[in-house]
Amino acid sequence: MEERVGQIWDRFITRMAHQGHPQAAVALDQVSGQLGVFYRAMGGNSALRISATTATPHRARRSWLHRVAGTGRKVELAWQDENCLYLPASLDLFAEKSLNRDLYFWLAALAGTPLASASPADLSWIVESQLRTCQTLQQYPGLQQRYQRLVQAYIALRPAPADLKHEAAAQERAIQQALISPGSVAELPEGKYAPAPVTLWLHPDAPRSGGQAADEISDRQASQGETRQAEQRRRQAERVDKPDEQGATLGVRHETDLFSFAEFIKMDRSSDDDNPAQAENIANDIDKMSVAQDNTTVASRIKFDLDLPSAQEDDIPLSEGILYPEWDYKKNRLLNDYCRIIPMRSRHAVATELPQHLLKPARRLRRQFESLSLSPQWLRGQYEGDKLNLDAYLEYHGSIANNPSACAADPRLYCQKRPLVRDIASLLLADLSLSTDAWVNDEQQIIDVIRDAVHLFAESLHASGDQFAIHGFSSRRRQHVRFNCIKAFNETYDAGIRGRIADMSPGFYTRMGAAIRHATELLSHQAAEKKLLLILTDGKPNDLDRYEGRHGVEDTRKAIQQARCQGLIPFCITIDDDASQYLPYLFGGQGYTVIRQAEQLPKRLPQLYMTLTGKLCAG
């Protein structure tokens, strides 16, 4: 009974202490797509993705109601680092939904506007915030009205200086003056407590990454009912030594009104006693997570340094390795001979026939692709032909009316029907990293879907007569990038190739830049007029070393740019739900497609190839 009453009281007092407006809340999920475009248009770094921030402690004095409820110690503020722009997962600060939405866009504009003078480290928080505000409004005057509406509504929510003591009142007057007239306040008066956080500005002391430890505790598999932004909240972490198993460490932390105990004790407890919701709440309350090496397994996604199989069981290496450069975006240069590609061929593959469940779709696709080389095509822009191109005719005579001297004497106004010439070489590069071992549904894993897609892709292109090659890749650090040779350009598609496709299996990690460079080298040696590089993946670039995060994204982007410079046409097919966060930066708006239902990949891949090559031949 006491516990039940306590729960009711806790919900009541927490709800009373909350000062937001849930009915007008706007979630980051709802505006993240538009925010990404807006942030980059405002000058933000196009390599950064938008993610949910995490609440951080502040030193401002809490209200009496907050102290009773035990809330209000932390606040979610906007900030950015070299990987992400972090924004609150949800905003319900204002009673009007439009104002909460405007606040998201204002924070994105503020973060996207670089400081034109002085280093932020040389400026105090209040001066830097005013400087950012001034430069944002000067560069984008159209935001002036939106900013004034936000300030007017926001100041009404802040503490009234008349209700505060002398030092706190001076601080609050300075902040409100800085909001109303940016640039008018030179310094913030000192006080016993910090002022109330300013939601309209960026974080005064943004969290910093805990290095690899922070990545290791990131679990991106959301449980049922969680939002994606809540799942991706930023955590601060530090690496510590594992405590002595013979004893336990007990620490005491003195708060303003309570004693609390923090313990680090190794316990052996049945999983039936675990409460995931309680564990998440505890994690949200921790200011900094301490990560120690242990020998136990966990359910979270953690980067493991996997051992390579023995030489007798591993695939057959075809050479000692080929060295390729890697792009270091911080140094803005290529690191020569940095990565080693090891071409490999399956040791255990045996010749096999097409799987039974693919026979029917394969027959249908073969009929479609066989007709490609036989179908004639209308070619526009000809001097003479079978019919007049009405669009070209009207455009030509309209140009004569406007500027007779600028018109060609012999215009190309006709269309001509000719047999389709498909001088195309295509290379399919499949991601075979460990993430493909995940399950799509109760019956199929991602690697099964990829095998089926590659089978149908090969059957289709063999029927069309197009030149094609198929390779897979995975990696274990920069010195071991495995490049699985499934079908080379000079090999004939047969039962042996089908056996290699059937033997594809999940490997290690995804050092995509090196694999793209080697695929570019192979494809550039083909004599075809059009060269298409198809990249099939289920996630973003990553590896055990610093290739995680922005480094991998920047290197992959550089490899794609180099491929385009050699006349190749890169195109990415992905089943990653987060692909819209980074693929536009890598491949451009028209250089990729996202397949939302992974089980549709075998059907969609040949269709995509037909559409892409149809445009190439028409061009």
Residues 413 and 561 reside in one and the same domain: no
Residue 487, SS3 per DSSP: strand
The reply to whether 361 and 503 lie within a common domain is yes
- Cα–Cα distance, 92 to 104 (Å, whole number): 11
Percent of the chain with pLDDT strictly greater than 90: 45
Question: pLDDT value at position 355?
Answer: 94
Would 212 be classed as within a structural domain?
no
Parallel, antiparallel, or unpaired for β 530-537 and 424-431?
parallel
Domain with residue 459: its CATH number is 3.40.50.410
First to last CA, the chain: 76
Give the tens place of pLDDT for each residue, 565-583: 999 999 999 998 888 888 9
279, part of any domain: no
Residue 249's pLDDT is: 42
Q: Is residue 372 scored above 80 in pLDDT? A: no
Q: Among the ranges 48-62, 371-385, 541-555, which has the highest mean pLDDT value?
A: 541-555
Q: Which two tokens stand for residue 133?
A: 């505000």
Using CA atoms of 447, 448, 452, 458 in order, give the dihedral in degrees to the nearest 10: 40
Q: What is the pLDDT of residues 237-279, one digit of tens each?
A: 555 555 554 444 444 444 444 444 444 445 444 444 445 555 5
Query: Is residue 37's pLDDT more than 70?
Result: yes
Same domain, 335 and 433: yes
- Determine, yes or no, domain membership for 290: no
**Could you say which of 180, 213, 232 is where a domain stops?**
180
Judge whether 209 lies within some domain: no
Residue 483 in this model has a pLDDT that exceeds 80: yes
Residues 348 and 414 in one domain: no
Please indicate whether residue 231 or residue 447 has the higher confidence score (pLDDT). 447
Residue 182 has pLDDT above 50, yes or no: yes
Distance of alpha carbon 272 from alpha carbon 274, whole angstroms:
6
* pLDDT for residue 326 is more than 80: yes
Query: Could you tell me how many helices (H) and strands (E) the chain has, helices first?
Result: 18, 23
Is the model's pLDDT at 462 over the cut of 80?
A: yes
Give residue 163's pLDDT: 85
Same domain, 413 and 512: no
Nearest to 78 by CA among 136, 8, 144: 136
Instruction: Place 420 in a pLDDT band, splitting at 50, 70 and 90.
Output: low
Domain end position, chosen among 180, 204, 231: 180
**pLDDT above 80 for 160:** yes
pLDDT at site 306: 58
> Do 403 and 521 reside in the same domain of the chain?
no
Global pTM? 0.71
**Is residue 220 in a domain?**
no
More confident residue, 307 or 436: 436
pLDDT at 229 over 90: no
The residue ranking higher by pLDDT, 513 or 389, is 513
Residue 189 has pLDDT above 80, yes or no: yes
- Residue 364 has which token pair? 């249908």
Residue 551 belongs to domain spanning: 322-371+423-618
Does the residue 408 lie in any domain?
yes
pLDDT at residue 329 greater than cutoff 50 = yes
Residue 75 predicted with pLDDT over 90: no
Reported as type and span, the H/E element at residue 102 is helix 97-112
Q: 472: closest CA among 433, 425, 424?
A: 433
For the chain, give the longest Cα–Cα distance: 96
13: nearest Cα among 91, 73, 67: 67
pLDDT of residue 495: 95
pLDDT at 404: 67
Q: Are residues 333 and 445 in the same domain?
A: yes
Residues 6+ apart with CB under 8 A from 103: 91, 93, 94, 150, 199, 200
List, for residues 76-88, the tens digit of each pLDDT value. 899 998 888 999 9
Same domain for 466 and 560, yes or no, is yes
Asked if residue 504 belongs to a domain, the reply is: yes
Residues 327 and 360 in one domain: yes
Residue with tokens 């939601």: 199
**432 vs 117, residue with greater confidence:** 432
**Do 428 and 445 fall into the same domain?**
yes
Give the end of a domain, one of 180, 211, 243: 180
Q: Which of 538, 608, 604 is nearest to 577 (CA)?
A: 538
Backbone angles phi, psi at 482, to 5 degrees: -80, 125
Average pLDDT over residues 135-144: 92
Residue 161 falls inside a structural domain: yes
Question: Which of the pair, 526 or 55, is modelled with greater confidence?
Answer: 526
Q: What is the pLDDT of residue 261?
A: 42
Stretch 453-479: mean pLDDT: 94
- CB atoms under 10 Å from CB of 212, counted, come to 16
Strand partners, 289: 237
For residue 56, name the pLDDT band (cuts at 50, 70, 90).
Answer: confident
- Residue 520 corresponds to which tokens in the numbers above? 């570019």
Q: Do 129 and 169 belong to one domain?
A: yes
**Contact predicate 535/457, CB 8 Å:** no
pLDDT-based confidence at 454, cuts 50/70/90? very high
pLDDT digits (tens, 9 = 90+) for 541-573: 999 888 988 899 999 999 999 999 999 999 999
Q: Which of 8-12, 149-153, 301-305 ranks highest by mean pLDDT? A: 149-153
Higher-confidence residue: 18 or 391? 391
Query: Is residue 387 domain-shared with residue 332, that is, in the same domain?
Result: no
Confidence of residue 485 (pLDDT cuts 50, 70, 90): very high
Q: What is the number of structural domains in the chain? A: 3
